[in-house]
Amino acid sequence: MTSPLYGIPLTMNDGTEAEFGQFEGKAVMVVNVASKCGHTKQYAGLEELYGRYRARGFEILGVPCNQFGGQEPGEDADIAEFCSTTYGVTFPLAAKSKVVGKEQHPLYAALTAAGEDAPQRVKWNFEKFLVRRDGSVLARFPSAVGPDDAELIEAVEDAIS
């Protein structure tokens, strides 16, 4: 059975339309990102993680969001330029989106509802959702857990195995 996540529409950072289904069969870490946050330096670690595991079927989807402290004020082109020139980011970026509230992106509605308990609101920038190859949510990591955290790396290895 195909995961309901795969039918969710995405607008990518360059304006192209896609679906989360473009990642079907791969493990994906979905991260709401911001360029003026105390956690922004995680871009470097995310890119390193991406480089380390991409050939084994791992993807990262960065979802810029300006809902937490106004820390992503730029337009999509500015965000792409910042990520590329400052951190060498090569993983895909979605268009700037809302991850909480009435206008929450459908991907985040599905991700936050995937927990065993009642849906849990995204609390801050750089919260990470790890999706297995089959489209089910394996793990969720708060902002303070960096891309080099042993527990996160173990979960990525589990997701791609």
Q: Which residues are the active-site residues?
A: 37
Write the Ramachandran bin of 88: left for phi over 0, alpha for psi from -120 to 50, otherwise beta: left
Q: Residues 6 or more apart from 147 whose CB is under 8 A from it? A: 42, 45, 46, 48, 49
Any idea of the CA torsion for 19, 89, 13, 144, to the nearest 10 degrees?
Answer: 80
- Strands 27-33 and 58-64 turn out to be parallel
Distances (CA, A) of 11 to 66, 90, 146: 16, 17, 26
